[in-house]
């Protein structure tokens, strides 16, 4: 039987390790993705992702199943690309405010090679988002 529990604070059975349920809700990642950005972009695993769109080289749109309440959510993440010799990568969260919407995020993956930055498809991309759901 489905059930709903309404509570302000969680503690272990000994009464220790107290945490407010607001921290549980606000402190949890609201979306994360592990995807391959090379060739046809493909998701390996994800949470709260409805679709991943490959817009162009190193240019992706991540659409959420459940939207955020505003576009002030945070974006973090890592990339890696074993094929990039003498380089690595990182993720630019968004190019402008318009790229960060409540229902989707447009994000870019960037390669660093021999001191030069360029937008590039990378084989392992790991964006994660925290904020308030609608």
List, in order, residues 6 or more apart from 44 with CB less than 8 Å away.
Answer: 34, 35, 36
Task: List the structure tokens of 39.
Answer: 């060739």
- By CB under 8 A, tell whether 32 contacts another protein: yes
Q: Which stretch binds another protein (CB under 8 A): 24-32, 55-63, 93-101, 103-111?
A: 24-32
Quick one: which of 63, 88, 101, 110 contacts another protein (CB under 8 A)? Answer: 88
Q: Which stretch binds another protein (CB under 8 A): 23-31, 51-59, 92-100, 103-111?
A: 23-31
| Residue 55 CB, nearest approach to another protein (Å) | 21
Instruction: Give me the sheet containing 31-36, strands edge to edge.
Output: 42-47, 31-36, 124-130, 74-80
Q: Which stretch binds another protein (CB under 8 A): 55-63, 82-90, 92-100, 103-111?
A: 82-90
| Residue 38 CB, nearest approach to another protein (Å) | 16
Q: Please tell me the distance from the alpha carbon of residue 42 to that of residue 29, in angstroms, as a whole number.
A: 21
- By CB under 8 A, tell whether 9 contacts another protein: yes
Angle at 42 between CA 133 and CA 62, to 5 degrees: 25
Specify the 3-state DSSP secondary structure of 79: strand
What are the Cα distances from residue 78, in Å, to 8, 16, 44, 71, 127? 34, 34, 15, 21, 7
Interacting residues toward another protein by CB under 8 A: 1-3, 5-15, 18, 21, 24-26, 28-30, 32-34, 44-45, 47-48, 66-67, 69, 76-80, 82, 86-90, 112, 114, 124, 126, 128, 132-134
């Amino acid at each position: 039987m489905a059930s709903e529990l309404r509570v302000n604070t969680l503690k272990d059975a000994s009464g220790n390790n107290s945490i407010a349920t607001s921290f549980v809700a606000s402190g949890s990642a609201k979306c994360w993705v592990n995807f391959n950005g090379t060739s046809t972009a493909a998701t390996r695993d994800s949470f709260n992702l409805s679709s991943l769109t490959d817009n162009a080289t190193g240019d992706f749109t991540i659409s959420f199943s459940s939207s955020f309440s505003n576009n002030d959510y945070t974006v973090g993440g890592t990339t890696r690309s074993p094929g990039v010799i003498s380089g690595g990568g990182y993720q630019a969260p968004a190019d402008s405010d318009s790229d960060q919407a409540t229902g989707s995020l447009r994000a870019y993956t960037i390669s660093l090679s021999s001191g030069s930055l360029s937008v590039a498809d990378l084989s392992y991309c790991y964006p994660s988002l925290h904020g308030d759901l609608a």
